[in-house]
Copies of this chain bind each other. A is one copy, B any other.
Amino acid sequence: MSRVSQAEARANRQRVVESASRLFRENGVRHVSVADVMQSVGMTQGGFYKQFASKAALVDEATAEAFSGMLRHLAALDGDHAGHDAAWPALIDSYLSPEARDDPGNGCPAAGFAGDFARDPEWRDTYAAGIRDMAGWIAPGDTGLAALSTLVGALLLARATAGSPVSEEILRAARKAAARLTE
């Protein structure tokens, strides 16, 4: 099979980016091959380089896509609650829940990509922009950055200790601490 309509091709490309953004967060950039990504949307690796310059380019788009989804989620939280002061505690509880810990693929890109990007400078601009946006949503200035650090650190530690009782203790401790930080 081959040669779909332009609209279909554009839709396929978007599905690749979205699926990649989930796979990369869940399994890490290194653990996910180009073939894995293409298979996840029911295609073969052959057409990949017709749409993307390299795997690195896809990582960049997938990162931006993941942050974009996160910011949509945050905006929706503001809408669902009576003002930002009510939305922030709600974010803390969902962000540091066992469910969020166990679902990195649909979870926070700040946490999902931190481990990979701490080593590789290639995507830091896109990542740094996302971090600024997320911290800015929490609170302006230092407060937002510090609170985001606590959220991301706790989520990563909870994931890396999942299965041990410490994991839940970390989540609980950080939920309390995050609330205190923005008082």
Within 8 A of B (CB), among A102-141: 104, 110, 113-119, 121, 124-125, 127-128, 131-132, 141
Judged by a CB distance under 8 angstroms, whether A16 is at the interface is no
User: Which residues of the other chain, B, contact A172 by a CB distance below 8 angstroms?
Assistant: 142
- Which residue among A104, A145, A147 has the maximum number of chain B CB atoms within 10 Å of its CB? A145
CA distance A31 to B127 in the complex (A): 21
| Range for the number of chain A residues in contact with chain B | 35 or more
Residues on A facing B (Cβ under 8 Å): 26-28, 30-31, 104, 110, 113-119, 121, 124-125, 127-128, 131-132, 141-143, 145-154, 156-157, 159-164, 166-167, 169-170, 172-174, 176-177, 180-181
Smallest Cβ-Cβ distance to A159: which chain B residue: B118
The answer on a CB contact under 8 Å between A162 and B116 is no
5 closest A-B pairs (Cβ-Cβ)?
A115-B115, A153-B153, A146-B177, A142-B173, A149-B154
Question: How long is the Cα–Cα vector from A180 to B146 in the complex, in angstroms?
Answer: 11
Please give the distance in Å from A180's CB to the nearest CB on chain B: 7
Among A127, A173, A174, max chain B CB count under 10 A is at A173
